[in-house]
């Protein structure tokens, strides 16, 4: 079993989605965690609703700082940042740079703020699909 830490800024959207995909669809090979460099302290309610509609187990989801994983006894096989550097977000610094994989995924937060329920579902679904595709590619490469 390999451990993956997904990290973004707020730990309320992208990293939460990634953690959920792994732990609900690939738990036979991986255990996922998520954290943020500047965590919001809450998981976005629309993201939770979207994941709940997929019948995902949401019990372990929370917004937390990535610092708790730096000296953790949990050995991380992958640390994947899902920050969108094009939007000048600050991605966290991990002690072992050779462990970091960077996925440039747009932060859906600003789009969600001014959207109705149907638009929110589309935005979150698009983010989910981008992350899911990247996870599937990671798993395919892992199996080679």
| DSSP track, 32-98 | EEEEESS--SS--HHHHHHHHHTT---TT----BTHHHHT-SSPPSEEEE---GGGT--PPP-S-GG
Residue-level pLDDT at 42:
93
Give the range among 13-27, 35-49, 82-96 with minimum mean pLDDT. Answer: 82-96
Residue 133's pLDDT is 98
As a whole number, mean pLDDT of residues 41-59 equals 94
What's the pLDDT score for residue 144?
67
Q: Which pLDDT value is given to residue 13?
A: 94
Catalytic positions: 8, 83, 91
Of the ranges 4-18, 68-82, 123-137, which one carries the lowest mean pLDDT score? 68-82
Would you say residue 32 has pLDDT above 90? yes
For 76-94, what is each residue's pLDDT tens digit?
A: 989 998 986 534 455 556 6
Find the mean pLDDT for residues 36-41.
88
Long-range CB pairs of 70-74 (<8 Å, 24+ gap) are: 70/94, 70/95, 74/3, 74/33
Q: Return the pLDDT at 18.
A: 97
DSSP string of 84-111, one letter each residue: -GGGT--PPP-S-GGGEEE------HHH
The yes-or-no verdict on residue 119 having pLDDT over 80 is yes
Q: What are the pLDDT digits (tens) for 51-63? A: 999 999 999 999 9
Of all residues in the chain, what percent carry a pLDDT higher than 70?
A: 89
């Amino acid at each position: 079993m390999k451990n993956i830490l997904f990290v973004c800024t707020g730990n309320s959207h992208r990293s939460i989605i990634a953690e959920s995909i792994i732990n609900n669809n690939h738990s036979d090979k991986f255990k996922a965690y998520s954290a943020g460099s500047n965590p919001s302290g809450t998981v976005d309610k629309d993201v939770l609703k979207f994941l709940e509609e997929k019948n995902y187990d949401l019990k372990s989801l929370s917004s937390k700082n990535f610092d708790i994983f730096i000296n953790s006894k949990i050995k991380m096989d992958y640390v994947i940042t899902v920050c969108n550097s094009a939007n000048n977000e600050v991605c966290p610094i991990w002690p072992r740079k050779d462990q970091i994989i960077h996925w440039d995924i747009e932060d859906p937060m600003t789009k969600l703020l001014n959207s109705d329920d149907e638009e929110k579902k589309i935005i979150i679904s698009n983010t989910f699909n981008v992350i899911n595709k990247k996870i599937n590619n990671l798993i395919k490469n892992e199996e080679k």
